């Protein structure tokens, strides 16, 4: 069974750093690009970052460029999102999702999400 499980979220002070993880199972991880999407409380979906299957290609939303870094460890079937300089506006549920094809593709499976709260 395909599964994506996010972890690493929590309460963090403004300006702080946090690393999210997404453990993947049930499919050949290296064959797929992966992405992060977030959703602020009561708001819509916002794409954050994506990475190719080999890790060689990365894409970022303007709102996080220079502060967030997406990476992956294919030996551990795990996707990461390193977040620095966190702001209140980064508070959201962060979802990881699978991307069948890069670029211009859809997200066919999603994790259940992990909540990040940036507050003093």
Partner 1 sequence: SYDLTQPLSVSVALGQTASITCGGDKIGSKTVHWYQQKPGQAPVLVIYRDINRPSEIPERFSGSKSGNTATLTISRAQVGDEADYYCQVWDSGTWVFGGGTKLAVL
* Contacts to partner 1 by CB under 8 A: 35, 37, 44-47, 50, 59, 61-62, 95, 103-113
Bridge-based pairing state of the strands 78-83 and 92-99: unpaired
Q: Are 57 and 39 in contact (CB under 8 A)?
A: no
Shortest distance (Å) from residue 37 CB to partner 1: 8
**Burial class, 31, CB count within 10 angstroms (exposed 0-12 / middle 13-18 / buried 19+):** exposed
Distance of alpha carbon 89 from alpha carbon 34, whole angstroms: 23
Is 14 or 103 the residue whose CB approaches partner 1 more closely? Answer: 103
Shortest distance (Å) from residue 50 CB to partner 1: 7
Shortest distance (Å) from residue 20 CB to partner 1: 15
Is 19 or 59 the residue whose CB approaches partner 1 more closely? Answer: 59
């Amino acid at each position: 069974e395909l599964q994506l499980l996010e972890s690493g979220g929590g309460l963090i002070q403004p300006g702080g750093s946090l690393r999210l993880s997404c453990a993947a199972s049930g499919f050949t991880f290296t064959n797929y690009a992966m992405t992060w999407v977030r959703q602020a409380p009561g708001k819509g979906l916002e794409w954050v970052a994506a990475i190719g299957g080999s890790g060689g290609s990365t894409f970022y939303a303007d709102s996080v460029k220079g502060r967030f870094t997406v990476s992956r460890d294919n030996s551990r079937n795990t996707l990461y999102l390193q977040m620095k300089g966190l702001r209140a506006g980064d508070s959201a549920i962060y979802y990881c999702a699978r991307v069948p094809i890069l670029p211009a593709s859809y997200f066919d499976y999603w994790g259940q999400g992990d909540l990040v709260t940036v507050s003093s």
